[in-house]
Structure 1
Amino acid sequence: MEGKYVSQKISRVRWRPASGSSLQLPECFATGSWDAEQNKVCLWKTVDMEGTETDQLFMEDTKPLCEINHNGDVMDLQFLDQERIVTASSTGSVIVFRHHVNNQALSVLQHWDHAHYHSHDSAPCTSLVCNGPEIITVGEDGRINHFQADQKEPVRTIDNADSSSLNAVTFLRTTEILTVNSIGQLKIWDFRQPGNKPRQIYSLTGDRVPLHCVDRHPNQQHIVATGGQDGTFCIWDVRQGSIPISLLDAHSAEMWEVHFHPSNPDHVFTCSEDGSLWHWNASVMAPDLPSFLQHGRRNFSLNGTVPHANSNQSLSSAWLTMDAAKGRVDIDNLLSAYTLSVNSLDVVGEYLVCGTDAEAVYITHNLEL
């Protein structure tokens, strides 16, 4: 992977949804910054360098399309659709920006000030997730908001959803969301149910290590991945039990994001405060080679109670059906010489983008899947 200096610490990076075939190069990505006197949301144009053998030329031709100032740190950023971007701010606000293609500009389309707050002060909005016009936000105040993009008033607010900070949110199904919090809990919320209680609570055993990120398997929604403050990577089956089915000692510091590959979910990508960006491959049976022959790769057996694989089951369930004795997860560090925090990543097809505290964005367009 080759990087591009962007003059700002990148807290979030996302590919814009593709307009045509998912096989083509994503045309744009958005970044949000943090820890600056004036933070920004920027939109970047990629250049298809198909046939090049390195990413260097690819990155040199990646250019900024437009940018806009952002009040507070960008805590999260998601595309609502091809034209609209939603951000979560450290000020507690939630903002919808519109990209004007004709004159390549960004403008504020909608904003909810103080969507998250404590009794005497604002509280950072830590994470958000979009599905069509629906926007769900969570924050350090333990509050969950349900917004519609074109409505000023929230559809619903759960004021006392959690007594600790809610750190990340994603959809489980159309009417259900997953949240993770600062005491090691994974919760399912059903918006069809009244009240402020989750439908289900799952917990890490032992020390209540904060969970920072969550993602669900794109095809099998009962399979969920989380990452925590101690760098541990967890796989959960929300159909059974209340604890993760496997825990892997992964990064040496906080894991900031975890993403299943959207079309090849046996592959998972994680990034960390320790400066690493890992590609996890559960579809292979890694050979038992000495470590000096692994060329920077690491192999882990899955811990916990893992059922034996059924040859009739889909490969997409490899995270659950690995043989505990033979199954290995093959791991490749895509930024092996890096030291500063990798805060965010996004992946589509063979294209991965990540943002760092070194004021650089890295892209690869030749992932091995």
Structure 2
Amino acid sequence: MAIGERTTSGYTVKFCDRKIAKVRWLEAEPICFDGEQKSFFVAASGDHRPHNNLSLWSLSHRDQQDDSSDPGRTLVSIDYGGEVDAAPADVEYLDLDYSPARRLLAAGGSDGIIRVYDMSLSLDDQEPGPHFLQEIKAHGGSGSKPASCSGVAIHPIAAQPEYASVGSDGYVVLSSGYGSKLLSIMNPDTSHTTAIKWRNANEFVTCGISGTVSVFDRRLAKRAQSFRSNMDAVALNCLAVHSDCIAAGGENGTIQFWDVRNTPACDIISPHSDNVWEIHFNSRNTSEVLSCSEDATVVLSRCPFKDTGYFDVPSRTNVSRKIQNFYQQQSVNSASLDGLGVLLCGGDSMSLSATALRDSAAFSFVN
């Protein structure tokens, strides 16, 4: 199913038959598993209906000079859907969120359903995850056409699992781990909301095709703040949140930054030339954001804020570093960075790439 190929700056593990829609590391750092130091990640395929799947991968941390070592392999692969004996769900993956504390993976699909999986890495004779747990019908539609679930986020600290989600029906929904709706709020700005992230225990942030970023407070059951840049309306695809800093990626390749204490000021950088599909603050240096794009690039950029009180390292420059291209000029749909600075990417090239950011050969500088 997969072929491992070494490159000068990391590993490339190629899918033979399908595009990659989402990737997520499961651990911040390698763990000892079966007597070896390994990292684990999950990959979701895309554009392969009705057999899109979730696959669990392991990456061995052996001697990189040992050509006999296997750089990456699939442990488990399951069709996207419910029970094992059920027919695959004829849907596309639109978002994934992972909770390391709970070892839960939540997947939002084009049918409006959140599917929850147990990603436990069993150390006994049982097979490791993903194990299907439940379906939550979060978003509905009118007539025979369902609304998609375009974004999902697992509550970071709730005693019982809770899932915040957004969809093409324009609703922001909070669902319990038992499948019941705790909250349903109509977003006042747009009929299609594209992404959602928790800001803290009571607030979550959304963005959408109207170009507006909104902060909702579950205690008030309504929107508490909203932000919009001064540029012409740009549809926003993705979000990242760090403390009071919000970053949103747009369809024109820009990333917009807001400080919720200083509205409506907005800083804008342009690291890409096409749709920005994902953004993440670098957990090793939160003055940097990682972004991937339809323009086939992955870029590590400095945050533009002058006030760096929230950041680990002061941001003195807006210089961006572009990851060397492994994708034959095809869209990079998803990226994930672990605690050791290993970058995982997947996209339309039907390949997965794991690259050590400490390797300077992996970067070129862009203005």
Distance 1:368 1:198, change over 3 A: farther
1:353 aligns with 2:353: no
The corresponding residue for 1:318 is: 314
The superposition leaves residues 73-111 of structure 1 with CA deviations (integer Å, 9 ceiling, x where unpaired) of 111112234643210001111101224631235332110
The corresponding residue for 1:240 is: 262
Q: Distance in 2 between matches of 1:277 and 1:99?
A: 27
The superposition leaves residues 154-184 of structure 1 with CA deviations (integer Å, 9 ceiling, x where unpaired) of 2222245543311111111110011011011
The corresponding residue for 1:140 is: 168
Distance 1:146 1:329, change over 3 A: same
Shift of 1:124: 1.1
Shift of 1:19: 8.1
The corresponding residue for 1:286 is: none
1:5 aligns with 2:14: yes
The corresponding residue for 2:252 is: 230
Which of 183, 187, 197 lines up with 1:156 in the alignment?
Answer: 183
The corresponding residue for 1:92 is: 112
Distance 1:171 1:53, change over 3 A: farther
1:116 aligns with 2:129: no
The superposition leaves residues 257-297 of structure 1 with CA deviations (integer Å, 9 ceiling, x where unpaired) of 01011231122210000100112246xxxxxxxxxxxxxxx
Larger deviation, residues 255-264 vs 26-35: 26-35
Larger deviation, residues 257-266 vs 328-337: 328-337
Say how many residue pairs are matched: 326
Which of 235, 239, 258 lines up with 1:210 in the alignment?
Answer: 235
- Contact 2:237–2:248 at 8 Å: present in 1 too? yes
Which of 79, 92, 98 lines up with 1:69 in the alignment?
Answer: 79
1:172 aligns with 2:182: no
5+ unaligned residues in a row in structure 2: which ranges?
1-9, 81-88, 361-367
User: 2:314 is paired with a residue of what secondary structure?
Assistant: helix
Q: Distance in 1 between matches of 2:175 and 2:313?
A: 33
Distance 1:153 1:28, change over 3 A: same
The corresponding residue for 1:14 is: 24
Shift of 1:52: 2.5
The corresponding residue for 1:42 is: 55
Shift of 1:347: 0.5
2:107 partner amino acid: T
The corresponding residue for 2:211 is: 184
Cα-Cα RMSD: 2.8
- Contact 1:47–1:62 at 8 Å: present in 2 too? yes
Distance 1:201 1:363, change over 3 A: same
Q: Distance in 2 between matches of 1:177 and 1:57?
A: 47
The superposition leaves residues 221-250 of structure 1 with CA deviations (integer Å, 9 ceiling, x where unpaired) of 111211100000122111112241x11122
Query: Equivalences for 1:47-62 in 2 at 5 Å?
Result: 47-49=60-62, 52=64, 60-62=70-72
The superposition leaves residues 296-327 of structure 1 with CA deviations (integer Å, 9 ceiling, x where unpaired) of xxxxxx5xxx65x79xx6753735xx4xxxx3
- Contact 1:15–1:348 at 8 Å: present in 2 too? yes
The corresponding residue for 1:290 is: none
Q: Distance in 1 between matches of 2:209 and 2:287?
A: 28
- Contact 2:28–2:338 at 8 Å: present in 1 too? no
Shift of 1:148: 2.3
Q: Distance in 2 between matches of 1:222 and 1:13?
A: 26
- TM-score scaled to structure 1, two decimals? 0.80
2:153 partner amino acid: V
Shift of 1:18: 4.5
Which of 127, 150, 157 lines up with 1:126 in the alignment?
Answer: 150
Larger deviation, residues 103-112 vs 252-261: 103-112
The corresponding residue for 1:250 is: 271
- Contact 2:147–2:168 at 8 Å: present in 1 too? yes
Larger deviation, residues 124-133 vs 330-339: 330-339
Q: Distance in 1 between matches of 2:310 and 2:104?
A: 36
User: 1:46 is paired with a residue of what secondary structure?
Assistant: strand
- Contact 1:143–1:161 at 8 Å: present in 2 too? no
More strand by share: 2
Q: Distance in 1 between matches of 2:68 and 2:302?
A: 28
Q: Distance in 1 between matches of 2:335 and 2:233?
A: 26
The superposition leaves residues 16-44 of structure 1 with CA deviations (integer Å, 9 ceiling, x where unpaired) of 135888xx976210111111131001111
Distance 1:145 1:352, change over 3 A: same
User: 2:169 is paired with a residue of what secondary structure?
Assistant: coil
5+ unaligned residues in a row in structure 1: which ranges?
283-301
